[in-house]
Amino acid sequence: MLILGAALLLTGLLAACEAEEAEEAEEAPDGEEDAEAGDPDPVELTLVTALEEDAAEHTGLWMYVEALEEEAPWITIDYVGGPEVVGSTESTEAVSTGQYDLTDNSPAYYTDILPAAEALLMRNAMPSEERADGTFEVMQEYFDEINLQHLGTTLAANSTFMLYLGERGEEFDPEDPDFTGWQIRGGAQYRGLVQALGGEMVDLDIGDTYTAMERGTVDGFGAGKAGVYALGLADVVSYEIHPDFKALTYQLLMNQDTWNELDAETQQVMTEVLEDLEPEIVEMWDEVVEDELAQRREDGIELIELEGEARETWLDAAYEASWEAALEADPSTEQLKDLWGYDF
């Protein structure tokens, strides 16, 4: 009888414990237990951008940060700042050396530490195409050289480069493009075009461009097909030249040592969220460009449209001279030239 009584008592205690556990499970918020059990350890990453926080070029980046917060709440992106913290041409190197974890940047700003970036300015496909044709794998080989992990594209090749002119633009002949005697502010992405047409490139921070245009220190500048309003430069632009050229792409890059320290789930979600978002970024930028072009026409910025032989001269200058510079900087970029179908 004692044994039977003890058994019944034990059975009762077990039943009571199970009932209490069931009641606690019902009271817990949905998913809380799973989240606590399933999420990796918290990850905090510092981010610097090539341009100011509200620059149009970084719109895709902030779309990504927002999506990542929803998909991976254990990851925190600590935005440190833009050029006011570290210069546009220095931020990629700052991430490469481990000063910061992430940067959203264009190849135009890191040709000094990665000569192959001269070629990356001439990409001619959308991210989905480049993931399929092997471009991303080749690009990663180059980023390996400077201790960076390429997470994906935050501004795709539907964003391009253009030249904008001040009042002197009335002198520009659309039938015979010639920059002899002109001073144009810009970087590597414009150098081949401007120099091939006789002009002189001026290395000037984008933040100093407004004053330089006002004073006539430079006659024009290069910038993206959209973004002159965000950069505060629309007031000093009187003309813009079409066609646009090359590709104003931005990549999200991470210090490779930091990347290697992340757990597999965090690595996977950081790359997959951006890959899934890339088509939406492409569509978003098409709308941004369309809206800004319309706004510039409304504000009286005149369009200089090159046609026929002048157009061919312009584009040949933009691409051929740039490929020569890219191959001279790094002969191995011949593989990218072939992959992308350039035949000159």
Q: According to the model, what pLDDT value does residue 21 have? A: 47
Look up the pTM and report it.
0.79
Listing DSSP states for 170-232 in one string gives GG--TTS---TT-EEE--HHHHHHHHHTT-EEE---GGGHHHHHHHTS-SEEEEESS-TTTTT
Band (92; pLDDT cuts 50, 70, 90) = very high
CA neighbor of 178 nearest in space, from 159, 161, 189, 165: 165
Answer for the pair 228, 234: CB distance below 8 angstroms, yes or no: yes
Q: According to the model, what pLDDT value does residue 3 have? A: 39
Mean local confidence (pLDDT), 307-321:
93
Measured CA to CA, the distance from residue 137 to residue 117 in angstroms comes to 15
Q: According to the model, what pLDDT value does residue 24 have? A: 47
Write phi, then psi, for 31 (nearest 5 degrees): 80, -10
Q: According to the model, what pLDDT value does residue 158 have? A: 82
Question: When comparing pLDDT for 248 and 280, which is higher?
Answer: 280
Q: According to the model, what pLDDT value does residue 34 have? A: 45
pLDDT at 313 over 70: yes
pLDDT at 2 over 60: no
Measured CA to CA, the distance from residue 157 to residue 168 in angstroms comes to 30
Partners of residue 105 on adjacent β-strands? 251
Q: According to the model, what pLDDT value does residue 175 have? A: 96
Q: According to the model, what pLDDT value does residue 28 have? A: 42
Question: When comparing pLDDT for 320 and 93, which is higher?
Answer: 93
Question: When comparing pLDDT for 149 and 128, which is higher?
Answer: 149
Which tens digits make up the pLDDT trace of 262-291? 999 999 999 999 999 999 999 999 999 999
Measured CA to CA, the distance from residue 305 to residue 177 in angstroms comes to 11
* Tokens linked to 251: 């990549």
Q: Which of 1-15, 67-81, 329-343 has the highest mean pLDDT?
A: 67-81
Domains and CATH numbers, the chain: 40-158+249-287 (3.40.190.170), 161-246+302-330 (3.40.190.170)
Consecutive H or E run containing 245: strand 239-245
Band (4; pLDDT cuts 50, 70, 90) = very low
Q: Tell me which residue has tokens 């930028």.
A: 285
Which tens digits make up the pLDDT trace of 6-33? 343 334 444 444 444 444 444 444 444 4
Which tens digits make up the pLDDT trace of 186-230? 887 888 899 999 999 998 887 899 999 999 999 999 998 988 998
CA neighbor of 96 nearest in space, from 329, 264, 205, 258: 258
